[in-house]
Structure 1
């Protein structure tokens, strides 16, 4: 069993901490808003892949492979930028807003966001 809730909240905490260290969050209100707007943490897509013909005898070996796969994915994910530049659709300097999109892995739909 892998605790995805803890992974999301830990990722959220560490990500916010790194943004603060880099000088990206200057006000406490900005940081608090990120926690308030995302009470379940930041979504981390780290789904286990399994096949129907997995046997129970090999479950301990399979679990260690699954965990190692998640760790490898997380390391690759954490080492990349938070958002690909091509997902940014607009930047408005006057209103200080950025528009971007993301594809939700749950429903495979595109979501457009302006913040």
Structure 2
């Protein structure tokens, strides 16, 4: 599942068909345009991920990609995907063994999370 989501995130542009509605609610025309793909969070507002593959220590939750660590996550912590930037995912911690990190938002290395659609 992780590979599938990473492939979607890897695209930066796509042809998107757009239907234009008139004020009466009828479709006036369809046009195709190329624009950046919206983040997964915008396309599907609830994407949950599990922290995986941590062999030692914890996965750092950071203020910005490669920035200062504000918390640490363990394998099987449940997080909600919000956004992405290159190999980084912006997440919100949903549940873990340490309740003090629940609700924290920040950036994590995407190599250590596996996501699934709800």
Greater strand content: 2
TM-score, with length taken from structure 1: 0.24
Greater helix content: 1
TM-score, with length taken from structure 2: 0.23
